[in-house]
Amino acid sequence: MELKNYQIMKQNKSKKKSHPFWSFFWLTFLVVSLWYAWYSFYVPTNNVVWSNDIVASKELAKNSNKNVLIFFTGKWCSPCRIMKREVFADTKIMKAIQYKVIPVEVDMDDPNFEKLIKQYNISTTPTTIIIDPNGKVINYAVGKVGKTKFLEMVLNK
């Protein structure tokens, strides 16, 4: 009996406890990973009312003397989510969109937009296009666009 107790005690002593550094490292790694995953997929709500009807948007643009903003995106597009989080959520940009353009969001995976995607030769997301009510391209940007450049596009500078 004593021999068994001795062997159990010896086994418990021989099990090394991990160094506190590694516990801290893995805990930090877990927290940072979870934060990054949340941040990558988080898109705040904003006051931009996106249309998905390009024909009605062009007609509305004619009647209101505005241009049409077409934002080509996809659910899988990380740079698009970053733009939605950093650019479209900005108050100044929301106001510029509201007063200067009719915003249209085009999902690249939606087969209803195939003709529009071919018409403007879209091959990557995000792509941002400003067109007049007749469909003529005024401004065109491929890739993630920052606040300043986006504001210049919308204000037609």
Please count the CA atoms within 13 angstroms of the CA of 107 that sit on its side-chain side. Answer: 9
The average pLDDT across 71-90 equals 91
Check: CB of residue 130 under 8 Å from CB of residue 137.
yes
Residue 10 predicted with pLDDT over 80: no
Mean pLDDT of all residues in 82-97: 91
Residue ranges covered by each domain of the chain: 54-154
The whole-number pLDDT of residue 102 equals 96
Banded pLDDT at 125 (limits 50, 70, 90): very high
Question: What 3-state class would DSSP assign to 54?
Answer: helix
The b-or-e profile of 67-80 (16+ CB within 10 A means b, else e) is bbbbbbbbeebeeb
Q: How far apart are CA 145 and CA 67, in angstroms?
A: 19
Helix pair angle (91-100, 147-154), 10° resolution:
20
Query: Which is the CATH superfamily of the domain at 54-154?
Result: Glutaredoxin (3.40.30.10)
Q: Give the list of residues 6+ apart from residue 36 with CB closer than 8 angstroms, or none.
A: none
